[in-house]
Structure 1
Amino acid sequence: MFKTNQNKKNDLGKFLSWILRHGALKEGIPVGVDGFVSVNNLLEHKFVQGRFTERDIIEVVETDEKGRFALRLNENSLDIRANQGHSLNHIQELDLKPITSPINVTCVIHGTFLKNWEKIKSEGLHRMGRNHIHFSQDRPDCNKQISGLRKNSEIFIYINLEAALASGLKFFCSANGVILCPGNQKGFIEPIFFEKVCRSDGSLLKF
């Protein structure tokens, strides 16, 4: 189906991101503590019903360049989950590897927008409604699809991972390579752990 309609594929991908990370319970869809949702239940949702098939969902998962989703085959059904980005508090993130040293991490970068900078500069990064703050290990100028970084980010905040780890902040690497941090007790990574901040054109911002 999607080979002739990329827009429908994008629509399904956005829906899956939202429903699996944030909206399943609100929409009356059971979700396990491991974050998995039955594909059969998704196919009965009003957005999906009659528009998409199980094969469509599988194709979105298999072709997603950011590796946002995972599938699990049970005896009687196929399940799907988001690899990270949940705001549902009861979900236990799977396959998160603790990062205990900066040695094997090239960089830790968070992308955001200029309108947020003044608040971030004074308060730090906050996980907001999610369970973690998301970071990429890839620089924004690399020639590949980047996980953990918005394509349209206007500023990029580099974290001093060594100092952050030394302070007691916890960092993890997800199954698709996104770096996650829950922040401090209030959910923040303070500006003292910013290594540098630059615009999309490479110019530096003061903080």
Structure 2
Amino acid sequence: MVAPEQLSRVVSHALRHEPWVYELELDGEGWAPVDGLLTAVREQGPRWSDVDRDALVDMIESSAKRRHEIDGDRIRALYGHSVPGQVLKIEAEPPERLFHGTSPEAWEAIQCDGLRPMARQYVHLSADVSTAEQVGRRKASAPVILVVQARRAHEAGSRFWQGNDLVWLADHVPAICLSTD
């Protein structure tokens, strides 16, 4: 049996990064057919043959971060896309402050250029410091935690979308709206 964390990695890869490898077609909002995803997952090898809709639901419900959602016969990743083109989201007014964890080296460049999506479709921002720290630790053992003046950035023209309860997305954040305190 495949652990939910392992299933989440495969599903994320299929829905966020390379759907064509799994012969999936995402619509404009990032949705793919559940049956198509299950077929692709089962083709990963014998140990994946028992993956079914219940396993997907369990994966979503047991995740510490809400990364995916199912609606009827379709499934999508909520954020983190690097696929060509942009997955459509509904814009939202951000809270006053958000957070972003990064490496000390990246912080040097960010101070000049602000936060940009780089290889992803959006800049990922955290709703709380602990989530930003968790993300930042993937980039450095002692990450820099940026305070994002999100409302100010929004008023300056940055666009924001809510990915889920813990993650916000932006098209960019100007350097003037960032600090480390």
Relative to the length of structure 1, the TM-score reads 0.71
Q: Aligned equivalents of 1:172 and 1:62: distance in 2?
A: 22
Q: For residue 17 of structure 1, give the secondary structure of its aligned residue in structure 2.
A: helix
Unaligned runs of at least 5 residues, structure 1: 3-7, 141-145, 184-188, 199-207
Matched, 1:152 2:133: no
CA RMSD of aligned residues (A): 2.5
Partner of 1:81: 76
Query: 1:9-28 to 2 correspondence within 5 Å?
Result: 9-28=4-23
Query: Residues 172 and 180 of structure 1 are in contact (CA less than 8 Å); yes or no, is this contact kept in structure 2?
Result: yes
Query: Residues 70 and 83 of structure 1 are in contact (CA less than 8 Å); yes or no, is this contact kept in structure 2?
Result: yes
Deviation at 1:87, TM superposition (A): 2.4
Deviation at 1:148, TM superposition (A): 10
Q: Aligned equivalents of 2:81 and 2:11: distance in 1?
A: 12
2:119 is matched by which residue type in structure 1? G
Query: Residues 85 and 132 of structure 1 are in contact (CA less than 8 Å); yes or no, is this contact kept in structure 2?
Result: yes
Matched, 1:47 2:44: yes
Q: For residue 134 of structure 1, give the secondary structure of its aligned residue in structure 2.
A: strand
Relative to the length of structure 2, the TM-score reads 0.80
1:192 is matched by which residue type in structure 2? I
118, 121, 129: which one aligns with 2:108 = 118
Task: Give the 3 Å change call, closer, same or farther, for CA 67–37 of structure 1 in structure 2.
Answer: same
Partner of 1:193: 177
Matched, 1:98 2:97: no
Query: Residues 87 and 131 of structure 1 are in contact (CA less than 8 Å); yes or no, is this contact kept in structure 2?
Result: yes
Partner of 1:181: 170
Deviation at 1:22, TM superposition (A): 1.5
Task: Give the 3 Å change call, closer, same or farther, for CA 176–20 of structure 1 in structure 2.
Answer: farther
Task: Give the 3 Å change call, closer, same or farther, for CA 52–136 of structure 1 in structure 2.
Answer: same
2:35 is matched by which residue type in structure 1? N
Q: Aligned equivalents of 1:127 and 1:148: distance in 2?
A: 19
Q: Aligned equivalents of 1:165 and 1:40: distance in 2?
A: 39
1:47 is matched by which residue type in structure 2? Q
Asked which structure has the greater CA Rg, the reply is: 1
Partner of 1:63: 62
Q: Aligned equivalents of 1:178 and 1:132: distance in 2?
A: 11
Q: Aligned equivalents of 1:192 and 1:147: distance in 2?
A: 19
Count of aligned positions: 172
Q: Aligned equivalents of 1:159 and 1:38: distance in 2?
A: 36
Q: Aligned equivalents of 1:90 and 1:161: distance in 2?
A: 21
Query: Residues 98 and 150 of structure 2 are in contact (CA less than 8 Å); yes or no, is this contact kept in structure 1?
Result: yes
Q: Aligned equivalents of 1:136 and 1:114: distance in 2?
A: 18
Query: Residues 21 and 85 of structure 1 are in contact (CA less than 8 Å); yes or no, is this contact kept in structure 2?
Result: yes
The structure with more helix, counted as a fraction of residues: 2
